[in-house]
Amino acid sequence: MPEIIIGRDWDDLKKYGNKGTIPIGKNIVGTGVETHLASEIRVDVLRPHVTVIVGKRGSGKSYTSQIFAEEICKLPDDVRKNLSVVSIDTQGIFWSMKHPNNKQRDLLYEWGLKPQKFDVFEYVPVGQKDKFDEMEVEYDNTFSFKPSELTVADWCYALGFKEIDLEGILMSKVINKMEGEYSVSDMAAKIREEDYDNNLKLKVENILLSADKWGIFSEEGTNIYEFLKPGKVVIFDVSLFSSDDVKALIIGLLMKKIYEARVIARRQEELAAMEEEKKEREVPLCWIIIDEAHNFIPSYTQTASSEIILTVIKQGRQPGISQLFITQMPDKLHPDVLAQADVVIAHRLTSNRDINALKAIMQTYMLYSIEKYLDDLPKLKGTALIMDDNSERLYKMRVRPRQSWHGGESPVAL
Ligand SMILES: Nc1ncnc2c1ncn2[C@@H]1O[C@H](COP(=O)(O)OP(=O)(O)OP(=O)(O)O)[C@@H](O)[C@H]1O
Ligand SMILES: [Mg+2]
């Protein structure tokens, strides 16, 4: 049975065949009692992509995203060593990739697969080590940022100030006066020195000092090249923050670092290519997975991660950064994300507003209405539509079962 390859153009198909593609599921054909699984569906990972996974609560979005991570881990060495994965785990569910999925063993056997654990690296905020120890979550390392890495806008988004308000102006003054490396307390001390209204200073200082309790700052900060390594899959667990603003700040800072590192590396790769020099890639291409993406790149407001995400969406192809966004609410996602996506996976959706958000990008490839396609999907977990902007085609799909343990299952009261 021929395979279906998503996200690969004709030239690459001729050149590479199915090399550097990952199997994520099978095509569902027929309707009613005739329904069955046919060709394997594979997705290109040699080139950068913007992928969006949508679907209502519990429809299988996070599960599907982790199939991408598993399959990248399983790629042959010559492809894998050129790739890395950075998963932003907003719910604390991805660390379970370190454990085999014994629960769905029977289903896996039906697919010719076995439960398997994967070598992934869990990074937790430096100031939350004790909490993760208490929860007995195995982590491999901690991450942190230097306060000097944050711009005025970063601070304002994360602390809930507006840059044009007095609080924002005070922050801007202080940050512009800071020199070298400094701590949050150094910044607070500088605020006290400013010639401003005392109540305002007290308010800004207090809110700023609360940032020290996030546990994400240190003098050294995490070196990007420590986790952006060939073949490495890293999970940044941000699940213990109750504030989406802090999660957005972390996502924004990480993405800026990855983007800069890849822009620099790309220039060196091109120079080496011009001189026909054969060099191993030191800084791999990167797949960034962002769950609950509507909170970090929303349509209705800006966050500390909005700007860099939009930059990477528009300019990430050249440095080789792929993004995989997951959302329950495509309607709340910034419209540029869906507009620029070249692979869209839609699990079950019922709200009209969310279906309409997809219509704008999917409808051109369809014979029938998107509602009909979604209605025709068998009512099983892990069924979805997959849209390929390259071939302008849409397929019904059943996503394969996970080999590693899925941490996102809802608890049962019995
Ligand atoms: N392809 C699949 N094969 C078998 N079971 C699946 C598949 N996809 C999802 N499931 C089952 O569905 C459950 C819910 O999936 P998942 O956690 O991915 O939902 P979600 O869409 O991310 O939900 P939420 O929006 O609440 O985060 C999983 O715990 C798993 O048991
Ligand atoms: Mg989920």
Q: For residue 359, is pLDDT > 90?
A: no
The CATH number linked to 38 is: 3.40.50.300
Give me the count of residues in the chain: 414
Which band of pLDDT confidence, cut at 50, 70 and 90, is reported for residue 282? confident
The residue to mutate among 26, 108, 328, 381, having the most atoms of ligand 1 within 8 angstroms of its beta carbon, is 381
Last-in-domain residue among 214, 241, 258:
214
Residues contacting ligand 1 via CB (< 6 Å) = 55, 57-63, 328, 381-382, 399, 401, 406, 408-409
Same domain, 350 and 382: yes
- pLDDT, averaged across the chain: 94
Are 45 and 82 within 8 A, CB to CB? Answer: no
pLDDT at 137: 87
What range does the domain containing 159 cover? 147-214
Which class for 119: exposed (0-12), middle (13-18), buried (19 or more C-beta within 10 A)? exposed
pTM across the whole model? 0.95
Is 251 among the domain residues? yes
Same domain, 272 and 207: no
Is 123 among the domain residues? no
Is 140 among the domain residues? no
The residue to mutate among 87, 406, 409, having the most atoms of ligand 1 within 8 angstroms of its beta carbon, is 406
Task: Using the structure block, give the residue that is written with the tokens 């005025």.
Answer: 152
Atom of ligand 1 nearest to the CA of 67: 1
Higher pLDDT pick, 166 / 414: 166
Sign, CA torsion 85/250/333/295: positive
pLDDT at 199: 96
Q: For residue 78, is pLDDT > 90?
A: yes
Atom of ligand 1 nearest to the CA of 107: 4
Which band of pLDDT confidence, cut at 50, 70 and 90, is reported for residue 1? low
C-alpha 271 – ligand 2 centre gap (Å): 41
Same domain, 102 and 237: yes
- Give per-residue pLDDT as tens, 7-60: 999 999 999 999 999 999 999 998 878 889 999 999 999 999 999 999 999 999
* Mean pLDDT, range 362-388, rounded to an integer: 86
Atom of ligand 1 nearest to the CA of 65: 18
Q: Measure the CA–CA gap between 313 and 322, rounded to whole angstroms.
A: 8
pLDDT at 115: 98
